[in-house]
Amino acid sequence: MTQMRKPKISITYCTGCNWLLRAGWMAQELLQTFTEDLAEVSLIPGYGGVYEIRLDGDLIWERKRDGGFPEPKEIKRRIRDVIEPDRDLGHIDKHSEAKP
């Protein structure tokens, strides 16, 4: 990564809907993929059916707006496209290229 400041990811999840495990799983996926390229991945408890993923405060996924829960590969692509557009995500990119 060429930036000096590392980006921060936040995942806000609904506590009433019991989406902590889903949010934690997504955080783990992001930390494993972007290992040392992220400053942090934080989990923020919320309510009212909220599930949002933000990159440096900018909304990149919202459950109600974007139609449900994201696949990790979609979130990884969106993050990559912002922080390091030339980065190869390996098998994630290979599968998306094969689609018609």
Q: Does residue 3 sit within a domain?
A: no
Question: For strand 58-62 and strand 51-55, is the pairing parallel, antiparallel, or unpaired?
Answer: antiparallel
pLDDT digits (tens, 9 = 90+) for 7-29: 999 999 999 999 999 999 999 99
Write out the residue range of the structural domain in which residue 88 sits: 8-98
pLDDT digits (tens, 9 = 90+) for 19-57: 999 999 999 999 999 989 999 999 999 999 999 999 999
Q: Output the pLDDT for position 1.
A: 47
CATH of the domain at 32: 3.40.30.10
pLDDT digits (tens, 9 = 90+) for 51-100: 999 999 999 999 999 999 999 999 999 999 999 888 888 766 665 554 44
Half-sphere exposure of 71 (CA within 13 A, CB side): 5
Q: Output the pLDDT for position 37.
A: 93
Number of domains within the chain: 1
- Residue 62, classified by CB atoms within 10 Å of its CB into exposed (0-12), middle (13-18) or buried (19+), is middle
* E strands present in 1-100: 8-14, 40-46, 51-55, 58-62
